[in-house]
Structure 1
């Protein structure tokens, strides 16, 4: 492409991305009224953060002094720009060290409060803990490098005693020293594990009798993955015991009930899995979902037990689902193990996605990552809902604000969390995630909307 044409194209794209109308605070939002909580619904320890339902049926966090509030957080607030997750090599840490020195935490919290935020989300650095703003801690029980995994997933081997021991080590190191912190809201056990389900709320599965029950280029689901592990793996033993118990202890009956070729030995499963042949049949799906519920229940029970062994004061905030995981997994998210369901979302169907978690569990829901910079917001929708065309800042802001305000009205949503504090070096504002650039300059395009929404969040949440 000639240089002159390239420059002209760049200028046109830059104009497209940067021109946006102002979005003032809405004048039609009512003033929030005092929230009266139903004391019978409160979960958590008095004197620490709790969660409960108001007399009008809306869920709220309740601070240690007994005041209800709607969580408005930001992820990854840290002097190094990303804590220890995916270091990007930017110079942000050097810049802010010179600019703020030891005052980085206070300066950042002051900025967040000025923009209407009231909490620190996941991935925020330890230098931000107990510095005057409510915070959350991500424990990464499963993704810890020493935790035994299910091959092909981020999921831990929940049947392996080594995983329980590793969780206990993490909880003793992280949770025990914070058990009396009045600014700690609670703990996330993990982030975006992916649950290897054959179907989910957003990915329905329709069986065609003419199709093979072994799908080429498929994605094996959880039961198949566990059955394919080496015999000495605890998850393999648990999966085979589960399956054989449901089929009269007969491996040939398993094959018949699943409608797959002769399963002459356990070795056949690893061969299919290695070849990316996914078992998909009504008989297999019934077993897979039943096993997935057992697996997920064990995950939520053991993670909570590890935390509660060291800290009985703070809320259990779940595993930060990356997407709706399917009915079997949601059925395992029970109030005896999880106080608040946590979920990330980058789609314009914000309300509808949070509603999946709310209906599937009956629990309050905390959004743990949100940003309106994906194609769902920046581009138009074509035939069949496919995104198309060039990105538009105006479209992004209009759709983003509408999606966020609608979601805040959900009766079970107790907060949202903007992703993230600072841009990565390759992000190009204004269609970029950070509230500040790597030069520590605020992204006024995002903040022009977020400040207004934050100021009205409590009132919006009180609306029907």
Structure 2
């Protein structure tokens, strides 16, 4: 990934226009793309071409008006006790286990022998035989659903095609929403066209669960703010932002200057009305206004896609836009008002397939909706496709046995969560040996590039009784209330992504937050020398907020810990990809964080026994502490406090 900005044209792109910019936002969820900060013109074309190809291939007739109701009963979501379920048209409740990218891979023309990838034509006489073989495999392996970016034309026309399906429409990303003016009739019309071309051929199919409107848009706050201010003064989106700023600061330019630094040439409201950029002033509270603007954009986007989908299909489920393994609370709340289920992709926090507890719990608390996992994945160094697993921060293990265990761990954890109704594995086949067009080169497949199944993983998938496991009564998860578990041998060891805190007992060491919508987990453990606190937080930090692209210490996330001994709390500045700053020399802090696409802030704090007034700790000792995490620019706050006994 690169951290470069990505200019976009301010002009509307029709399907036949050439893209006016050579580099497009990597934070845009695109066709078969994982987030990348160097997506180029050709990738945007892929989205538009894929949409058109899908519509044509499955026989879209777009000459008539789209109103009408399918004769087939729809899929639905129902509540049974504490659990939410997807329900088939015949009334059967099921957990949707899907697979993304069930397609034929590289064509004969696209195949590159120097960078070989999956190519169905090498193994099957035609697309029908490919579809029959693949669907037979997926059913035998226990999968129920064909997920995003699959070859729906071939799958739908296969005689054995009784698996459900849920396509990704790319309504927004194809038309430029939410980055361009969502009040521009041309943008809205293009969104309508994209939806219409895809929905009409699909809506009467009895296997259709519903539609994802987009994938991994990201909702990057700083980029959306910047791109909106770059629009013309006639832009409805820009005008609404200026009006929000005027209302917030009561038309007082001096008040705005406390929170923002204008670009040169912008010295008053009248000039800002016409042109110009604003940047966050370090130490100010401008982030609150930017989050309010994010709410406005999200409400507009979700209301638009809801109404557009319902215009062409009144009954299929609306499944959200598959958050990019993080979410802004403001966006999640707006989404909930316009969807049947909220969706998010899930990048495991650790390479054993486990994930931070707050992530889905808070998303559900914010939305009150059932959740779908749009993607989950795991890769291994030992693979038959030659994948190096080096272009991205995704969980990597050594062996296929470990990868299969990670798959099982993630899926079993999801099945225990009553409001999760489905999850899609990414993806059917491995990525090309040296990486796909954006460089991503992971062993994500159920099969390798030679069409051979990874049997350790597929055996586990086939062995799981999904409905039976989901019907098990929900049990309260353990936490640190009964006592703090012992620390691993090296509490600060392996402090790198997907490994830091992995060997901690994060179940019995989980500290319950006192905040209502936490965006972080806190864990505690001990040995005779120290108490250890582990923090796993969502902390979205963009350098685009600032004129010089530098995050000052005053705006970095802050971790504050108070213990019973010292008179003053311990304060650590963490995050933004910089070294931690700690105000207590006897305390050690380790930290992993980043900028832009890296939204995880992981830290460990070692608190020596003498800070608690002891020479050493022993079992049954009582400790008391309070902890606060304040995210970048003071946007969000999470608190914990309690008194705990140390257990063996």
Check if 1:92 corresponds to 2:116. Answer: no
Cα distance in 2 for partners of 1:322, 1:311 equals 26
Alpha-carbon distance in structure 2 between the residues aligned to 1:239 and 1:118: 44
CA distance in 2, matches of 1:224, 1:280: 17
Relative contact order, higher structure (CA 8 A, sep 6+): 1
Deviation at 1:354, TM superposition (A): 2.6
What displacement does 1:101 show? Answer: 4.4
Distance 1:111 1:157 in 2: 45
Offset at residue 79 of structure 1 (A): 2.0
Kindly indicate whether residue 200 of structure 2 is the aligned counterpart of residue 176 of structure 1: yes
Alignment of 1:209-228 (within 5 A): 220-228=222-230
Aligned to 1:241: 243
**3-state SS in 1 of match to 2:137:** helix
Partner of 1:148: 176
- For residues 138 and 62 of structure 1, the distance between their equivalents in structure 2, rounded to whole angstroms, comes to 20
Give 2:635's aligned residue: none
Aligned partners of 2:141 and 2:459 also within 8 Å: no
The answer to whether the 8 Å contact 1:79/1:97 transfers is: no
Q: Does 1:341 align with 2:342?
A: yes
Q: Tell me the distance in 1 between the aligned counterparts of 2:418 and 2:184.
A: 38
Match of 2:443 among 426, 432, 437: 432
Which ranges of structure 1 fall in alignment gaps of 5 or more residues?
Answer: 1-43, 198-219, 376-385
Matched, 1:78 2:103: yes
Aligned to 1:458: 467
Aligned to 2:214: 190
Structure 1 residues 389 and 76: alpha-carbon distance in aligned structure 2, compared to 1, 3 A threshold:
closer
Instruction: Point out the structure with the larger helix share.
Output: 1
* Cα distance in 2, alignment partners of residues 388 and 134 from structure 1: 28
**Structure 2 counterpart of 1:49:** 75
Q: Partners in 2 of 1:291 and 1:57 — Cα distance? A: 35
Q: Secondary structure at the match of 1:254?
A: helix
Distance 1:138 1:289 in 2: 27
For residues 413 and 350 of structure 1, do their structure 2 counterparts lie closer, same or farther at Cα, with a shift above 3 Å needed?
Answer: farther
1:391 equivalent to 2:398? Answer yes
Q: Kindly tell me: are residues 268 and 174 of structure 1, through their superposed partners in 2, closer, same or farther at Cα, counting changes over 3 Å?
A: closer
Range with greater deviation from structure 2 (356-365 or 392-401)? 392-401
Higher strand content, 1 or 2: 2
Instruction: Give 2:150's match in structure 1, choosing from 118, 124, 140.
Output: 124
Asked if 1 retains the 8 angstrom alpha-carbon contact of 2:342 and 2:371, the reply is yes
Q: 1:279 to 1:421 in 2, by over 3 A?
A: farther
Distance, in Å, in 1 between the alignment partners of 2:261 and 2:336 is 34
Provide TM-score, normalisation by structure 1.
0.71
- The 1:439/1:242 distance shift into structure 2, 3 A limit, reads same
> Which residues in structure 2 correspond to 1:295-444 (within 5 Å)?
295-335=297-337, 337-347=338-348, 348-350=353-355, 352=357, 353-373=359-379, 391-426=398-433, 432-444=443-455
Q: Secondary structure at the match of 1:290?
A: helix
Q: By how many angstroms is 1:271 displaced?
A: 6.9
Contact 1:142 1:149 in 2 (8 A): yes
Query: 1:3 — aligned with what?
Result: none
Distance 2:116 2:301 in 1: 35
Deviation (angstroms), 1:240: 1.0
Q: Structure 1 residues 387, 225: closer, same or farther in 2, change over 3 A?
A: closer
Cα distance between partner residues in 2 of 1:58 and 1:45: 29
Counterpart of 1:16 in structure 2 is: none
- Give the distance between the partners of 1:425 and 1:287, measured in 2 at CA: 43
Q: Whole-Å Cα distance in 2 between the matches of residues 119 and 389 of structure 1?
A: 25
1:254 aligns with 2:256: yes
TM-score, length-scaled by structure 2 = 0.52
Moved more, 340-349 or 122-131: 122-131
| Cα deviation digits, residues 135-162 of structure 1 (max 9, x gap) | 1111101221xx2356xxxx45322222
Equivalent position SS for 1:235: helix
- Counterpart of 2:424 in 1: which secondary structure? strand
* Superimposed CA distance per residue, residues 409-449 of structure 1 (whole angstroms, 9 cap, x where no aligned partner): 10110011111011222179x97111112221111132132
Is this contact kept in 2: 1:351–1:403, CA < 8 A?
A: no
Q: How is 1:9-24 mapped onto 2 (pairs within 5 angstroms)? A: none
Q: Go from structure 1 to structure 2 and tell me whether the alpha carbon gap of 1:175 and 1:325 turns closer, same or farther (over 3 Å shift).
A: same
1:160 corresponds to = 184
Alignment CA distance shift 1:300-1:374 (3 Å) = farther
Does the 8 Å CA contact 1:221/1:288 hold for their aligned counterparts? no
1:351 shift after superposition: 6.6
| Counterpart Cα distance in 2 of 1:51 and 1:390 | 36
- Alpha-carbon offset, residue 306 of structure 1: 0.7
| Deviation, structure 1 residue 185 | 0.5
